[in-house]
Amino acid sequence: MNQTLEYLQELLAVPSPTGYTVGVQEYLMKTLEKLCYPYKRTPKGNIIVTVEGKDNTSSRVVTAHVDTLGAIVRAIKPSGRLKLDKIGGYPWNMIEGENCTVHIASTGESVTGTILIHQTSCHVYKDAGTAERTQDNMEVRLDLEVNFEQETRSYGIEVGDFVSFDPRTTITPTGFVKSRFLDDKVSAAILLNLLKTYRDWHVQLPVTTHFMFSCIEETGTGANSSIPENAVEFLAVDMGAMGDDQQTDEYTVSICVKDGSGPYNYTLRQHLVDLAKEKEIDYRLDIYPFYGSDASAAMRAGADVKHALLGAGIESSHSYERTHIKSIQATEALVDAYLKSELV
């Protein structure tokens, strides 16, 4: 797990809200160059590595996404603070009190701040605890000496500047990994480590496999294009959702039966279950009711493939997330077993 966790920490340290992913694309390309893998960057920024297998008449696609939730400057208020528009799906209370960085397009510089509700001070506002968390009430308190709109604009800050959230990554002595954006940088780290392992140990996969790192998944269109014509299977490695009525936990790999887009391919799903049983990998089957993936985006775009979804169990998804090394290990083991198996 050491190398996977190293990749994970490096990925988490790169701000990459959907629409502002050039930095993480550059990280991926540099990492793949060190691993001596040729790659292709598509026009919309997805990074694809094709690993030739023993059989290249048909192929499979495996994806992980590297874009994250974030925000964008909606307006500069008369007070000099910033009004935000959300990137990705989350309620405002999930980011209240979070430190953030404003990426200033006009200068290439950045400035830090904190996301707060306008009525923050309980010594001043009677409704500090009850005021509705809405776009109109939430704002960025910049770490600048500004009190007026024009003072903020004098730093080059403008509508359309991206805002990233502090990931606050921590790995505990008890094996828990706490951070924003484990969805889906855990999976990207797993794919990078498998690529490194296959290179180091000269592993030839049975089937030509296209590793795709997508950069626009949080808004629904990540890996829905540039799918090779001979691809017949599509595995999205994402996250397992936890909560009431969910079987997914932080210590196993979660295999998705159905999400908000509908059921996943039964044959491919059962193939993953059989591999987990054969390799004695602890797993859970689950339904994610409010969820979509790179695989479901590909299906909506018309991909004629068997599609499946699995991932590490992530607690508090789209908030300050947590998983355990055991879940990362189980997920990596099942992806590895799948990639070393024959087509269904």
3-state secondary structure of 10: helix
Spatial distance between the Cα atoms of 104 and 86, rounded to a whole number of angstroms: 17
Question: Is 103 known as a binding-site position?
Answer: no
Whether residue 209 contacts residue 62, with contact meaning beta carbons closer than 8 Å, is answered with yes
Parallel, antiparallel, or unpaired: how do β-strands 176-179 and 40-41 relate? unpaired
Question: Is 336 known as a binding-site position?
Answer: no
Question: Is 280 known as a binding-site position?
Answer: no
What's the gap between Cα 118 and its chain centre?
29
pLDDT at 311: 98
Question: Is 307 known as a binding-site position?
Answer: no
Catalytic residue flag (residue 217): yes
Parallel, antiparallel, or unpaired: how do β-strands 253-259 and 283-288 relate? parallel
Spatial distance between the Cα atoms of 202 and 55, rounded to a whole number of angstroms: 16
Spatial distance between the Cα atoms of 18 and 162, rounded to a whole number of angstroms: 9
Spatial distance between the Cα atoms of 329 and 153, rounded to a whole number of angstroms: 47
DSSP letter (8 states) at residue 144: S
Residues 6+ apart with CB under 8 A from 227: 61, 210, 234, 298, 303, 305
Burial class (CB in 10 A: 0-12, 13-18, 19+), 150: exposed
Question: Is 33 known as a binding-site position?
Answer: no
Per-residue tens of pLDDT for the chain, all 344 residues = 799 999 999 999 999 999 999 999 999 999 999 999 999 999 999 999 999 999 999 999 999 999 999 999 999 999 999 999 999 999 999 999 999 999 999 999 999 999 999 999 999 999 999 999 999 999 999 999 999 999 999 999 999 999 999 999 999 999 999 999 999 999 999 999 999 999 999 999 999 999 999 999 999 998 999 999 999 999 999 999 999 999 999 999 999 999 999 999 999 999 999 999 999 999 999 999 999 999 999 999 999 999 999 999 999 999 999 999 999 999 999 999 999 999 99
Instruction: Tell me the domains of the chain and their CATH numbers.
Output: 3-68+181-340 (3.40.630.10), 70-165 (2.40.30.40)
Catalytic residue among 217, 233, 250, 332: 217
Spatial distance between the Cα atoms of 164 and 84, rounded to a whole number of angstroms: 11
pTM attached to this predicted model: 0.97
Q: Is 4 left (phi over 0), alpha (psi -120 to 50) or beta?
A: alpha
